Chain A
Amino acid sequence: MLSRREFVTLTCSAILSFSLPAWMVQKVLASFRESSENPKWGIVVDVSKFGRLSYEEMLKVVEVCRREHNIPVIEGKDRIHWIWLSKLSEIFPKNLSEKSRLGDVLVPVFCNHCENPPCVKVCPTGATFKRYDGVVEQDYHRCIGCRYCMAACPYGARSFNWRDPRPYIELVNPEFPVRTAGVVEKCNMCSERIDRGMMPACVEASKGAMLFGDINKLESEIAEILNSDVFLRCKEYLGTEPKVYYLL
C-alpha cells in the first residue's frame, strides 16, 4: 500500500503534469493574436544610390551606429557587428550573375527585423522579442547567453559578448546601455530613437540612400516605393519575411 506521503506526492505530480501543458497551450495561442493598427517599421536600401557614395561616406553609416550604441571595436572571432558593409554578390548570390557589375557594390547589412523572426521563437527566456511596431529587440538584462538565437538567425545578424566590451569602446554614449560580457546583442533599428520620433542613425547618415518608414501606412514614402519598384530581400525563401528591402 501507498503511504500518505507517497499518495500526496503522486497526486500532486499527476495534477501538475496535466495542468501545466494546458496552461502552456493557452499562452502559445495568446501569443498569436496581434493588432494590425500598429506601425510596422521597415528600411529600404537604394542600392544604386548607396553605391554612388564614397567609401568614407559608406563607413559613416557603420560609424554612427557604433557610436550611438556603444559597440566595441574587437578584431577576430570575438568581433561584434550591428551593421556592416558587404558585397551585393555575397548577400544575393542567387540573384546576380558571376560577372555582374553590381556584384562588387557595397551595401549595408544589418538585422532584417523579420516578421517571423526565428531568433524570437527560439529564445528560452523571451530576452529577444518583437515589439508592437515590428522591431526585433534584445533585452540585455534578461539574456542568459545561451546563443540559441545565433544558431537560429539565417543572416548572422547577432553577436555575442565573448568578453567585457567596455575596454573596447572609445567614447561611451551615456544615453545607451553598455552590455556586459556573456549576452547577445544586435541591431535594434534604433528603437530608442524611433520612440523619440527620430529616424535610425544609419538612415540619417546615409544621405538619402536608405529610407525608413511605416510599411503598413499606404501614403508613406516607403510604402509608395515598395508598391511600385522591384526589390530583393535576404533569403526570402526561408519564410522569415524580412523588413529590410534592397531596391535595385
Chain B
Amino acid sequence: MSQFRMLVLCLVPLILAGSIAYYFQLTYGLTVTGMGREVSWGLYISNFTFLVGIAASAVILVLPYYLYSYREFRSLALLGEIVAICAIVMCMLFILVDLGRVDRVLNIIRYPSYTSVMFYDFIVLSTYLLLNIGVVTFILKGRSEIAKLLAVVSIPWAISIHTVTAFIYSGLVARSFWNTAILAPKFLASAFASGASMMIILGMITKKYTGLKIENEALLKLAEIGVFAMVCNLFLAGVEIFTSMYSANPEHVTHYLYLFFGIENYGNLTSMWWISVILGLAAVILLIIPTTRRDKVFLAISSTFILVSVWMDKGLLLIVPAYVPSPTGLIEEYTPTILEILISAGIWALGILLMAFAIRSVSRYKFVLYQR
C-alpha cells in the first residue's frame, strides 16, 4: 500500500495548512476572506452547495441496486454510501468555517426557527448522514436486510437534501438570480451528473488500487446516467437563461449580463462561466459518442470535465452573481483570498483522506461484499 501512503503524505500537509489558516480566521475574524458587505457568501458556501450534490447523488447507485436489484452496482453502491458520508462531513465543515460565531452553532438546535429553510436543511442533512452511516455499519456487520431497509429509506432523504438546499437560495425574494423554481430540479440534475462522474473516477481508482471488484459494465452505466443528467442540467440552464433574457426583466438580466460579459470592467467570473459551459458541452459530446465513452481514458477525461464544470457552475457561478450587482445597485466583486482557499483545500483534503481510509478498510471486507 505504498500508493496509499503517498496519498496520505500528500493530504496531511494540506489539512495542516488549512487548520493553520482557520486558526488565523478564528483570530482575526472573517475579514481574512474575500467576502464583504455586498458579497457576503463566497467560496465556502459554493463548496457546500456542490458537496450536497455529491452526497445526494449516492442515490443514483443506491436506487438501482436496492430497489431494482441491479447487481452490477453491488460494490459501487457501498462506495456511493461512503462518498455520501464523507461529502456530508465536508458540507458540515464548510458551514462551520463559514460561521461568524462557530461557538454558537448549537443555537440552531437550542432555538430552532421553523420558518427558516436552513433549519430544515440541517435536519435533512443530519438524517441523511445518520441513515448512510447506518447502512454502511449494517453492511459491514453482515445485516444486509436492515441495511437494505435503511438504504431504501435514505432515497427520499437524498432527494430532499438537495431540494431543501436549493430552497435556501430560491426562497429569497431579494436575490432575483436565485429566485426561480428551476433551481431545485437543476440542482438535482447537476448533482447526478457530478456524482456519476465522481463515482466513475473513484471506481477506476478503487479498481486499480484495491481488491474490490468493479465491473466495467457498471462504470459504463454510470457514464450513461451521468451524461443524461448533464444534458438535463444544460437544458435547464438554457431554459432559465432564455426565460430571463427574453422576458428581459432587468433584475434578472443584469446578473446574467455580469456573468456573460461583465458589467463596466467588472467581470472576474466571465471566463469561468465560459469555461464551465465549454467543458460541460465537451463532456456531453465525448460521452454520447459510443467509441469515446467506452475508451477508459476518454471516460476519465470527460468525467473530470463534468466534475470541474459542475463545481464551477454550482459553486462560485451560482453564489457570487446573485450579489453582483447588489440589490441597491452597487457592484463589488469577490475574489477568494489565499487563506480562504487554504481552508477550503484543507477540508477537501480531509474529506478525501476520510474517503480513502474508508474505502481501504471496506475493501478488506470482500467476503461481506460477495455475501450481499
- Give residues in A with beta carbon < 8 Å to B: 2, 6, 24, 27-28, 31, 76-81, 86, 90-91, 93, 118, 120-127, 142-148, 150-156, 159-164, 180-184, 235, 238-240
Roughly how many angstroms separate A79 CA and B115 CA in the complex, as a whole number? 29
Closest 3 CB pairs of A and B: A145-B100, A77-B36, A182-B100
In the complex, the answer to whether B115 meets A28 with C-beta atoms within 8 Å is: yes
B99 at interface, CB cutoff 8 A: yes
Partner of B114, one of A28, A160, A235: A28
> Measured between alpha carbons, how far is A81 from B24 in the docked complex, in Å?
26
* A contact patch SS: loop
User: B3 interface residue, CB < 8 Å from A?
Assistant: no
Q: Are A181 and B100 in contact, with the CB atoms below 8 A?
A: yes
Partner of A160 from the list B34, B37, B116 (CB cut-off 8 Å) is B37
Which residues of B pack against A, CB within 8 Å? 28-31, 34-38, 40-41, 95, 98-102, 104-105, 107-108, 110-119, 122, 146, 168-169, 171-175, 322-323, 326-330, 332
Whether B108 and A144, one on each chain, are in contact in the complex, defined by CB atoms closer than 8 angstroms, is: yes
Whose C-beta in chain B lies nearest to the C-beta of A25?
A: B114
Complex Cα–Cα for A162 and B42 (A):
14
10 example contacts (A-B, Cβ-Cβ < 8 A) are as follows A31-B114, A93-B329, A120-B115, A144-B100, A145-B104, A146-B99, A156-B330, A163-B29, A163-B31, A235-B327
A160 to chain B: which residues have CB within 8 Å?
A: 30, 37, 40, 100
Whether B173 pairs with A145 at a CB distance below 8 angstroms is no
* Interface core residue of B98, B100, B172 (most chain A CB under 10 Å): B100
Across-interface contacts of B37 in A (CB, < 8 A):
77-81, 156, 159-160
A162→B36 contact, CB < 8 A: yes
Q: Nearest residue in A to B36 (C-beta to C-beta)? A: A77
Do A6 and B36 touch across chains, with their CB atoms under 8 A apart?
no
How far does the alpha carbon of A128 sit from the alpha carbon of B95 in the complex, in Å? 20
A152 to B113, CA, bound (A): 15
Residues of A within 8 A of B329 (CB): 90, 93
Which B residues are in CB contact (< 8 Å) with A142?
104, 107, 111
Enumerate chain A residues within 8 angstroms of B31, measured Cβ to Cβ: 78, 162-163, 181
Whether the Cβ atoms of B99 and A144 lie closer than 8 Å is yes
C-alpha spacing A70/B326, complex, angstroms: 26
Chain B residue nearest in CB terms to A122: B116
By the criterion CB–CB under 8 Å, are B118 and A143 in contact? no
Nearest neighbor of B119 in chain A, beta-carbon distance: A124
In the complex, besides A78-B37, A180-B101, A181-B31, 12 extra interface pairs with C-beta distance below 8 angstroms are A24-B114, A91-B328, A122-B116, A125-B104, A125-B112, A145-B30, A146-B98, A147-B41, A155-B328, A182-B101, A183-B101, A235-B327
Give chain A residues whose Cβ lies under 8 Å from the Cβ of B175: 151
Chain A residues closer than 8 Å to B104, beta-carbon distance: 125, 142-145
Kindly identify which residue among B115, B116, B169, B327 contacts A154, using a CB–CB cutoff of 8 Å: B327
A182: chain B residues within 8 A (beta carbon): 29-30, 99-101
Contact B108 A123 (CB under 8 A): no
Are A126 and B113 in contact (CB-based, < 8 A)?
A: yes
Residues of A within 8 A of B113 (CB): 123-126
User: Cα distance A155–B174 when bound, in Å?
Assistant: 8
- A121 and B115 within 8 A (CB): yes
Residue from B29, B322, B326 having most chain A Cβ neighbours under 10 A: B29
Q: Do the beta carbons of B118 and A145 come within 8 Å of each other?
A: no
B29 and A164 contacting across the interface, CB-CB below 8 Å: yes
CA distance A169 to B202 in the complex (A): 53
Measured between beta carbons, the chain B residues less than 8 angstroms from A181 are 29-31, 100
Instruction: Evaluate contact between A151 and B40: CB separation under 8 angstroms.
Output: yes
Q: Bound complex: CA of A155 vs CA of B99, how far in Å?
A: 22
**Which residues of A have CB within 8 Å of B107?**
125, 127, 142, 144
Q: State the CA gap A180–B28 with chains docked (Å).
A: 11
Residues of A within 8 A of B35 (CB): 77, 162
Chain B residues near A91: list those with CB within 8 A.
328
Residue pair B111, A126 in contact (C-beta under 8 Å): yes
Q: Given known contacts A151-B175, A152-B172, A238-B174, is B116 in contact with A145 (CB within 8 Å)?
A: no
Q: Is the CB of A76 within 8 A of B111?
A: no
**A86 and B327 alpha carbons, distance in the complex (Å):** 14
User: Bound state CA distance, A2 and B147, in angstroms?
Assistant: 12
Contacts of B29 on A, CB cut-off 8 Å? 161-164, 181-182
